[in-house]
């Protein structure tokens, strides 16, 4: 079948032409070349395989042989929500590492090789170059994520596991956004730093801090203010929760937990060291222990902890690194 007869190729060709002709797509040739060059590399398919093995297949096997039995014994119906609970602890640390590997050398490696000067001699601004690199590398990051989710669906569809489409698709959307956020983070550092080695070291260093140490930062800061500024326990818990939510990893986790729990309040309580005081004194509710877990009834969630606010905190890790990276890159002598 020729390209003219193939409706998929014809549709992609039409989209390609439309983007090329738009006034906002000066960066498009860069992102298209970035995507094509990288997708030919075998390592992107190795990453896809790793993501399938570490993300999709163990979770599915767990559903069939372990989690499914536990749910059956509890008399509950087995849905893909159990899969999401199983996959979340894998996706949260794995995907940022994949995104960093994809993004850290986007601009710094070009600078090392001298090809960056050649690119900038063409009719592209530094901002267009950064935007093109971001779009192209983000599309590459989404390949292993998409392959992982599609593989999971292919295995789950013929099984007896009920697919809860809403929560599954929201989990997929949150995970894709999470991957793009860390891609932007790595590209921003790549634009700001002189070498790919420095960009990799800085990206991994900040990632390790976020993964290992940030969870204790809010509680530690709250304790410090309590000891030296005499703040009360409620204010201390506000500090703990707010600082925790500023981490992109915690923001992603609590958004997925919100989908699973069906309640933003319940998912935020998981981030605090004292859920009872948080519920009753900070949120003005009543903590009730139900079969589904602790629930804060009749509580009001302050705007800074709402779903929209948490999404905003997550997206800040996309915007700030790109803006800061662009500012340094724009003023950097190559």
278 vs 21, higher pLDDT: 278
Q: Which two tokens stand for residue 288?
A: 């009730």
Closest to 321 in 3D by CA, of 138, 146, 112? 138
The model's pLDDT over 244-265, given as tens digits with 9 standing for 90+, comes to 999 999 999 999 999 988 889 9
Average pLDDT, whole number, for the chain? 83
Closest to 211 in 3D by CA, of 240, 266, 151, 252? 252
User: What's the rounded Cα separation, in Å, for the pair 25 and 22?
Assistant: 6
Closest to 13 in 3D by CA, of 197, 86, 303, 21? 21
With a CB cutoff of 8 Å and minimum separation 6, the contacts of 204 are: 100
pLDDT value at residue 322: 95
Q: Say yes or no to pLDDT of 316 above 90.
A: yes
Cβ atoms of 131 and 27 within 8 Å: the answer is yes
User: What's the rounded Cα separation, in Å, for the pair 53 and 127?
Assistant: 37
Residue matched to tokens 């309640």: 263
Percent helix, strand and coil across the chain, each rounded to 5?
A: 75, 5, 20
Closest to 171 in 3D by CA, of 184, 197, 153? 153
The model's pLDDT over 14-73, given as tens digits with 9 standing for 90+, comes to 445 555 555 556 677 778 877 887 777 777 778 778 877 877 776 677 666 665 555 444
pLDDT value at residue 75: 44
User: What's the rounded Cα separation, in Å, for the pair 171 and 244?
Assistant: 20
pLDDT value at residue 167: 92
* 291 pLDDT tier (thresholds 50, 70, 90): low
Q: Report strand pairing: 286-290 vs 293-297.
A: antiparallel
pLDDT value at residue 32: 80
Cut 0.85: pTM above it: yes
* 6 pLDDT tier (thresholds 50, 70, 90): low
Of 18-27, 128-137, 239-248, 266-275, the least confident? 18-27
User: What's the rounded Cα separation, in Å, for the pair 187 and 202?
Assistant: 11
User: What's the rounded Cα separation, in Å, for the pair 131 and 29?
Assistant: 11
Cβ atoms of 200 and 166 within 8 Å: the answer is no
Backbone angles phi, psi at 295, to 5 degrees: -130, 135
Beta bridge partners of 289: 294
pLDDT value at residue 270: 86
User: What's the rounded Cα separation, in Å, for the pair 229 and 19?
Assistant: 55
pLDDT value at residue 12: 46
The model's pLDDT over 195-234, given as tens digits with 9 standing for 90+, comes to 999 999 999 999 999 998 998 888 888 888 877 888 888 8
pLDDT value at residue 76: 47
pLDDT value at residue 100: 92
Q: How far is CA 112 from the centre of its chain?
A: 29
């Amino acid at each position: 079948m020729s390209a003219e007869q193939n409706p998929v190729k014809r549709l992609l060709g039409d989209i390609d032409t439309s983007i090329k002709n738009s006034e906002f797509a000066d960066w498009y040739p860069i992102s298209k070349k970035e995507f094509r060059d990288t997708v030919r590399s075998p390592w992107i398919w190795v990453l896809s395989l790793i993501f399938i093995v570490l993300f999709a297949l163990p979770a599915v096997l767990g559903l069939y042989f372990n989690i499914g039995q536990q749910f059956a014994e509890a008399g509950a119906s087995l849905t893909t929500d159990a899969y999401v609970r199983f996959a979340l602890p894998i996706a949260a640390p794995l995907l940022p590492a994949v995104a960093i590997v994809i993004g850290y050398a986007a601009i710094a490696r070009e600078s090392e090789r001298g090809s960056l000067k050649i690119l900038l001699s063409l009719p592209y601004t530094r901002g267009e170059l950064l935007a093109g690199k971001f779009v192209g590398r983000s599309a590459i990051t989404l390949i292993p994520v998409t392959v992982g989710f599609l593989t999971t669906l292919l295995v789950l569809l013929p099984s007896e596991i009920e697919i809860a489409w809403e929560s599954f698709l929201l989990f997929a959307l949150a995970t894709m956004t999470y991957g793009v956020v860390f891609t932007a983070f790595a590209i921003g550092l790549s634009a700001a730093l002189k070498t790919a080695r420095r960009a990799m070291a800085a990206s991994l260093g900040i990632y390790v801090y976020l993964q290992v140490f940030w969870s204790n930062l809010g509680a530690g800061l709250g304790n410090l203010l309590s000891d030296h500024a005499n703040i009360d326990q409620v204010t201390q818990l506000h500090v703990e929760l707010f600082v925790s939510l500023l981490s992109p990893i915690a923001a992603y986790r609590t958004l997925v937990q919100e989908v699973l729990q069906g309640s933003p309040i319940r998912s935020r309580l998981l981030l605090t060291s004292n859920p009872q005081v948080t519920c009753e004194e900070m949120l003005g509710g009543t903590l009730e222990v139900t079969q589904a877990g602790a629930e804060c009834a009749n509580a009001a969630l302050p705007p800074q902890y709402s779903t929209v606010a948490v999404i905003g905190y997550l997206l800040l890790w996309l915007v700030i690194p790109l803006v800061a990276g662009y500012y340094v890159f724009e003023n950097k002598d190559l």
